Chains A and B, each alone.
Chain A
Amino acid sequence: MPAKKHYLSSPPQRVLKVSAAIVGGYFVAASFHLMLASVSGHKEIVMLTSTFSLFLLWAVMMVVTFLSRNGWKIWGVYLGLTLFFSIITYFTK
């Protein structure tokens, strides 16, 4: 029953993935909501909705993180997404 070892990653990769899941996942979820708030023009509605939707998105990002084969890449993708969402937020604010 326990998971088969050969599908799991090495310790350094594990550190990268766990940190990407928790920290990177939060960055993506938070910046995505900021972008949504600013682009949609319904700042207050999005902000209050984020009291639950942000956690859901964050947890989904955490799940997705572990599917990646390379921890560096997923960190790169998350930082890229965060940057992208932030730039849009900045220009539509």
Chain B
Amino acid sequence: MKLKGLPPRVYNIFFHTHTVSGIVISVALYIIFFAGAFTLFREEFYQWENPKARTQKAADLNLEATLNAIHKSVPNVDWNEDLRLMMPSQENPFIKVFGHLKKEKGAEEEHFHLNIHPATLVAEAGDATTIGETLYRLHFLDQLPVLGRYLAGFVSLFFLFATLTGVLIHWRNMSTKLWAFSLKNSWKQLWTNAHTVFGLLGLPFQLMYAVTGAFYLLLILILLPSVMVFYKGDTRPVYALVQPALGVKYNENSPSKNNQQSLLTMYQQAKKMYPDFSVWYLSINHLHKADAVLNVNFKSKDATKFDIYGGIGFRLVTGEKLYEMIPGKNKTYVQQVLNGMGQLHFGTFGGLLVKTLYFLMALFTCFVIISGVLLWKEARKNKNYTAEQQHFHQRVTTLYLACCLGLFPATPVLFMAELVFPMGKDHVFWVNTVFFGTWLLFFLLGVWAKSESKMVQLFLLLGGGLSIAVSLTNGFTTGDWVWVSWMQHNYFVFGTDVFWLLIGLLLLLVKSLDSPYLSVETKRKRQQEDKVSV
């Protein structure tokens, strides 16, 4: 079945804009999807990342003892600024604390992060480890100061453009693109098929990410006009629409008052109010003033629900309920939209199965990006292009591939560096330096490898070996060998190790294959193509 195609002029214009926008964003988009794929499991590999978190399921939060522990380890904590306590979870046994330090008037805000163990009440710096954080930041290019996230935002927007033009140019052959993938034929054919078939199969996923990604990074462009026109430039009421806690008013001059007792009472009361929900995090403000507020944020216990976040706020002195936002009770569309986007973007609505599918889809998207670049180059290997032009295309492709594919073997190095470097003040700095340093090194090795096939062979070998070394490093540095964490029922650590072992073995297996199933005819065609130019 063939659909009606576009007229020639329109087809050629869309084809050209698709090519140009695609080539321009390709490397950044690949990095975003690749780092983002790993970031999906940030919570799940946290115990692997931080051996101190590998304790058995700990007790519930004792609020009073926790507040004392905060005071003990951060004596100059500012109780009258926002203080947040994230409840322990299966993945992360710590109470995660975020707060402000006392400051002079007009001075810049200073924050602190703590991890407090709910049973032992030992407090540690909360930002001592970095794998999850590094990959998370890399997935919106935040390591480039200031500009990085806007760059990532526009990459996301142009990705949306490229997706739409891609659908339009393949419109005519849409139905065959659902299954027409084949490993046979010339390189140009192979990359064309790979690009169009996987592009189409991943379309809903990619479209969703293009939109939600642009939303997170370019939110300012969405809000700016509405805020200027409808809210006289004041963003507070807009944020309060979505998060009612942000609409609560405070008086900076209200008198001092110790509210600790009523805080404990209200917390206990809130815990009992909604049996279908568990407390997710607390946010406390103006604790030592007369207008103190406790915000309790809930998460639905039912993991099959899509809209799971709720909250309630109390004025501590009077016990007055300031707002209530509970899914299924009174939560409105306006309050649901952003939660829904978050669920879609982070894949948190269906447990590990959905996250695994997301991970695979993200890697498929990386493949679509790479095959697009290769297709771009292969389609230009003909007499319409001068030798210099062809050489230029080859050069660009080599640099792109080395940068993208070199990220893979550098990722297990990031994991290993986390455990190898001793904890301490400069730990995070060194781990990141090693990660970005190895990535640069692998990039140079890839460029130096001369041919694409040699580059891929090299990265398969490096990536395979280093991936296997990840779980060995864990065994040597912490004693938690794969079988040990299995017997201790620590499935998060076990899962991370097994993941890397399997990836490593898979890559080495792929490396050892020499496409024996390809026909002589196909091999001959490809060899000829490889000989042309360069």
Query: A residues near B, CB below 8 A?
Result: 1-4, 7-8, 26, 30-31, 33-34, 37-38, 43-45, 47-52, 54-56, 58-60, 62-63, 66-67, 89, 93
Bound complex: CA A26 to CA B212 (Å): 17
Give the Cβ gap from A58 to chain B, nearest Cβ, in Å: 7
Partner of B13, one of A26, A34, A60, A67: A67
Cβ–Cβ contact B338 & A51, under 8 A: yes
Cβ–Cβ contact A37 & B230, under 8 A: yes
Q: Which residues of A contact B225 (CB under 8 A)?
A: 30-31, 33-34
Cβ–Cβ contact B338 & A89, under 8 A: no
Would you call B222 an interface residue if the criterion is a C-beta within 8 Å of the partner chain's C-beta atoms?
A: yes
Would you call B211 an interface residue if the criterion is a C-beta within 8 Å of the partner chain's C-beta atoms?
A: yes
Would you call B168 an interface residue if the criterion is a C-beta within 8 Å of the partner chain's C-beta atoms?
A: yes
Q: Could you list 16 A-B pairs, sorted by A, with CB under 8 Å?
A: A2-B16, A2-B379, A3-B16, A4-B12, A33-B225, A33-B226, A43-B226, A50-B222, A51-B219, A52-B211, A55-B211, A58-B157, A63-B14, A63-B168, A66-B13, A66-B14
Would you call B334 an interface residue if the criterion is a C-beta within 8 Å of the partner chain's C-beta atoms?
A: yes
Would you call B214 an interface residue if the criterion is a C-beta within 8 Å of the partner chain's C-beta atoms?
A: yes
Q: Name the prevailing secondary structure of the A interface residues.
A: helix
Give the Cβ gap from A79 to chain B, nearest Cβ, in Å: 16
Query: B residues near A, CB below 8 A?
Result: 8-10, 12-17, 19, 157, 160-161, 164-165, 168, 188, 192, 210-212, 214-215, 218-219, 221-222, 225-226, 229-230, 238, 241-242, 333-334, 337-338, 341, 379-380, 384
Most chain B Cβ neighbours within 10 Å, of A3, A54, A93: A3
Other A-B contacts than A3-B12, A7-B9, A52-B215, 15 sampled, CB-CB below 8 A, are A2-B384, A3-B16, A4-B12, A7-B8, A48-B337, A51-B337, A52-B341, A54-B222, A55-B157, A55-B160, A56-B211, A59-B161, A67-B13, A89-B229, A93-B230
Cβ–Cβ contact A45 & B334, under 8 A: yes
Bound complex: CA A26 to CA B211 (Å): 14
Nearest neighbor of B167 in chain A, beta-carbon distance: A63
Q: Which residues of A contact B241 (CB under 8 A)?
A: 44, 47-48
Q: Which residues of B contact A8 (CB under 8 A)?
A: 12-13, 16
Bound complex: CA A56 to CA B334 (Å): 19
Bound complex: CA A4 to CA B136 (Å): 41
Most chain B Cβ neighbours within 10 Å, of A2, A30, A48, A93: A48
